[in-house]
Amino acid sequence: MSSLSDPTRRRIVFAGMASLGAAALPAITLAADTETVRIGYQKSSTLMIWLKSRQTLEAALAPLKVNVQWHEFTSGLPLLESLNVGNLDLSADVADAVPPFALAAGASMTYYAIESASPTAQAIVVRQDSPIRSLAQLKGQRVAFAKGAGAHYLLLEVLAEAGLTMRDIEPAYLTPADARAAFERGSVAAWVIWDPFLAAVQRQANARILRDGTKLSSYRRFYLAATPYAKRRPDVLALVYGELRRAGEWIKANPGQAAAWHAPLIGLDAATVEAANQRRTYHVQPVDTLALDEQQRIADAFTAQGILPRKVTVAASPVWKPA
């Protein structure tokens, strides 16, 4: 659900780039020795927003004398930039393509959780009346996607499956909003996009899925912490991890209620949100080697494309594991 700014048009450095927007909660009386954990999130951070809306973490962390401060971001990369420069302690989920950019900039981050694979939550779509019926027919066509996003990686894999490369298509680097407009007026032949935009264009514009991420791109969501904080407060990570797991279980067990709650927050109807949620697992689990291996493949693919400025070694990043 997050998109990345064009990395060729910005320096990938962390020097005050992140603009924080705090969502203040009601005042809570705290002991003098209480500290604060600062958590960054996006509108796509369903589980963390669920916990925030119910002050679940505030209640759970109170015995540890930890207060919670919330900061909202419009996309994943500025969120991780703030994490790296010390303005945040924990990050809610970001899409799988985001951490490699932060690591390429030298960020010191600890992976502390993932949502299990949701490969059908992103796909390449065409219009219902499009003559394109196979991936090979993408050759010579104009394809819209967000540069450096997970959709970009999926497109690379889709093209490789068809025996094509980026040189065989005409890339249209567009934000989801601009890509939707271009798709509907027919100025692009295909669009690579993720939920809930995917569910919206299917329901509202009758788009047809040409290929989703099954066996190509897992579309995991990653939760990260500032490494100094992860080392100092593993007890906080353990508690947050447990609450995220419970939130995910509730969302999946109560799809209608969850969609009705979340839809107004992201400006979509509840039916579209429920359709999108059916494709996302919301299953929070420890970070495993499969997830890190795919992070490395994404990083290597973007390095080969010249999108990342240098090679990234994902395995060098710390991983927190629940007891």
Question: Tens digits of per-residue pLDDT, 280-321?
Answer: 999 999 999 999 999 999 999 999 999 998 999 999 999 999
Give CA–CA dist 248/258, Å, rounded. 10
| Percentage of the chain modeled with pLDDT above 70 | 90
Give CA–CA dist 100/9, Å, rounded. 17
Give CA–CA dist 246/253, Å, rounded. 11
CB neighbours (10 Å) of residue 219? 28
What average pLDDT does range 36-62 have in this prediction? 96
In this chain, the answer to whether the domains covering 7-118+219-316 and 119-212 adopt an identical fold is yes
Tens digit of each residue's pLDDT (9 = 90 or more) over 171-220: 999 999 999 999 999 999 999 999 999 999 999 999 999 999 999 999 99
pLDDT band at 75 (very low <50, low <70, confident <90, very high): confident
**Every domain of the chain and the residues it spans:** 7-118+219-316, 119-212
Q: What CATH number is given for 7-118+219-316 in this structure?
A: 3.40.190.10
Give CA–CA dist 248/6, Å, rounded. 32
10 Å CB burial of residue 288 (0-12, 13-18, 19+) is: middle
Q: What is the pTM of this model?
A: 0.86
Please name every residue paired with 69 in a beta bridge, in sequence order, or none if there are none.
38
Q: What CATH number is given for 119-212 in this structure?
A: 3.40.190.10
What is the number of alpha carbons within 13 Å of residue 258 lying toward its C-beta?
22
Dihedral sign, CA of 3, 195, 277, 282? negative
